[in-house]
Structure 1
Amino acid sequence: MRAPDRPSAFTGDNARDKYFTAYGRVLGELWPVPVEAIDVETRAGSVRIHRAGPAEGDPVVLLAGADGNALAWYRYIEPLARMRPVFAVDPLGEPGRSVQTRPLATGAEVAGWLTDEQVRELSVPVQVLLGARSAVHDARAVAARLAEIAPSWRVEIVPDTGHALPVEAPDLITERILTFPGQTRAEIATPVHSTDRG
């Protein structure tokens, strides 16, 4: 498939307006909590972030996968926002309210702003949940890589789930988010594990 040579965009003003109308309606119907829209400028465009929940507390950042946007997290917003500040992101290059201004031709460019060194410098607690049967990546290889560059991160491989883990196991994910980072220091010291019994 040929790499894109221009930023992702709507075909015209009419298409954009129709999409934004539908987007706003879905946001209002599915998100039962007040939401603040924040636009953050990056080197590849303006990123729309929806903020909900209290002003204080450990924040939760929700990033949608390919072909998704912040609306995909509608099942999670109400239970999470009761306890934590929540930031749901519309990724650049995907349908949503973010505005891409330069092409992102490869996966490396999409995530190019986050280098291994920047990952190592993150000082906040991080938890990663991986679907054991993802067809997109090797969950054990990803866990091993994260253990190498970010040994303090908590990484869990969830059995019997694929790449659509948020859709397949919403209750488990909500529970993991709300109880994190409450684990003990000993648990942090050995972060990579699997709940798979097989």
Structure 2
Amino acid sequence: MADRPRIGRFRNDKAQKQFLTGYDAAIRDWPVPLKPLDVATSYGTTRLYRTGAAEGVPVVFLPGMGGNTLGWIHSSGPIGAAHPVYLVDPIGGAGRSVQTRPLEGTDDLTSWLAQILDGIGSPAVYLVGFSYGGWQALLAAIRIPERVTGMTLLDPAAFRRATLRHHAWALACGIGLHCRPSIRRHLARRLHSDSINRPDDIMAAIAGTYLFEQALPPMEPLTDEELATITTPTLMLFGAHSTMHDSAAVSQRLARVMPAAEVELVPGTGHSIALDVPDLVNPRILEHAARIARR
């Protein structure tokens, strides 16, 4: 197996042009106005997009492995109606960020996030993390808890490493996006991933996974001891059919080690819950953030 690249890069100039053409078109057609913001960090320049309310606790969205701003097309508007919203293109992943220094591990990953929060002038934010981004959010709650007022985690990938079954699911989802509608509908049911039926929404985001050589630290599963230290108000939504983990077993584990966390298994959904059921996810985020604000 080839070593992980130390600096994220597109596979070639053609791949970069292909991805950025689709990416920029998606940003131009975004359902709400986005203001680009480049934040300088010691790991390179990170591209964020600002939208939403002028005041309130900022909500920062962290995508899954290989993801970027585009994965939040269905959430940025609804959440922005009540909060300032920041969408992040992670350093080391496909997007408009430019990495100049390697992210060597979890210390660097947390340092990078802290520098992002400094750059937007927010001493503390509400985090929304999907998959790998959920793991990042948990790391932040462990290591810089004063910067996190609360968080909603969407099928967070923090409890075991991805298996062959999960990689096969991701590959099947990617193939499904290119199939005719009747096959897409069948695969969407079998894979518990309704977003396959909306390829135009996410094609540029998915393409980034295949056209970019990522340089993100591998996810290291969190221990019971680490999880038990988290006091940040936390809502976790798991796809009942997730291929990333056994959602029911993880729920039972969290009830034991993080009893204050709110955990919900969403029936009929898989790992890509953030894209598949935004009409369920968005109200949960807003309600949880509002309850924290009232404390």
| TM-score grouping bracket, smaller chain normalisation | 0.7 to 0.9
1:179 aligns with 2:287: yes
Residue 4 (structure 2) aligns with: 4
CA pair 41-182 structure 1, distance change in 2 beyond 3 A: same
Residue 112 (structure 1) shift? 5.5
Q: Is the 8 A contact 1:80 1:86 kept in 2?
A: yes
Aligned residues: 183
CA pair 120-142 structure 1, distance change in 2 beyond 3 A: farther
Residue 33 (structure 1) shift? 1.9
Residue 124 (structure 1) aligns with: 149
CA pair 166-117 structure 1, distance change in 2 beyond 3 A: closer
- Structure having the higher helix fraction is 2
Amino acid at match of 2:283: E
Residue 64 (structure 1) aligns with: 63
Q: Is the 8 A contact 2:238 2:265 kept in 1?
A: yes
Residue 47 (structure 2) aligns with: 48
Amino acid at match of 2:66: D
Per-residue CA deviation, residues 121-145 of structure 1 (Å, 9 max, x unaligned), is: 4551223322232212343437845
What is the TM-score of this pair, normalised by structure 2?
A: 0.51
Q: SS where residue 25 of structure 2 aligns? A: helix
Per-residue CA deviation, residues 80-99 of structure 1 (Å, 9 max, x unaligned), is: 22222111111222221111
CA distance in 1, matches of 2:147, 2:261: 10
Per-residue CA deviation, residues 134-159 of structure 1 (Å, 9 max, x unaligned), is: 212343437845974x6655443323
Amino acid at match of 1:167: L
Residue 192 (structure 1) aligns with: none
- Cα RMSD for the two superposed structures: 3.4
Structure 2 gaps, min length 5: 112-138, 154-236
Q: Which runs of 4+ in 1 moved over 6 A?
A: none
Residue 58 (structure 1) shift? 2.8
Q: SS where residue 125 of structure 1 aligns? A: strand
Give the number of the structure with larger relative contact order, counting CA–CA contacts within 8 Å between residues 6 or more apart.
2
> How do 1:107-186 and structure 2 match up within 5 A?
108=106, 111=109, 113=111, 114=139, 117-118=142-143, 120-128=145-153, 129-139=237-247, 140-141=249-250, 144=253, 148=257, 153-183=261-291
Residue 83 (structure 1) aligns with: 82
Residue 111 (structure 1) shift? 4.3
CA pair 153-39 structure 1, distance change in 2 beyond 3 A: farther
CA distance in 1, matches of 2:148, 2:110: 20
Per-residue CA deviation, residues 53-82 of structure 1 (Å, 9 max, x unaligned), is: 111123222221122210121122222222
CA distance in 2, matches of 1:96, 1:147: 38
Q: Is the 8 A contact 1:3 1:105 kept in 2?
A: no
Indicate the percent of aligned positions where both proteins have the same amino acid. Answer: 37
CA distance in 1, matches of 2:108, 2:268: 28
Residue 32 (structure 1) aligns with: 31
Q: Is the 8 A contact 1:5 1:105 kept in 2?
A: no
Structure 1 gaps, min length 5: 189-198
CA pair 132-79 structure 1, distance change in 2 beyond 3 A: same
Residue 93 (structure 1) aligns with: 92
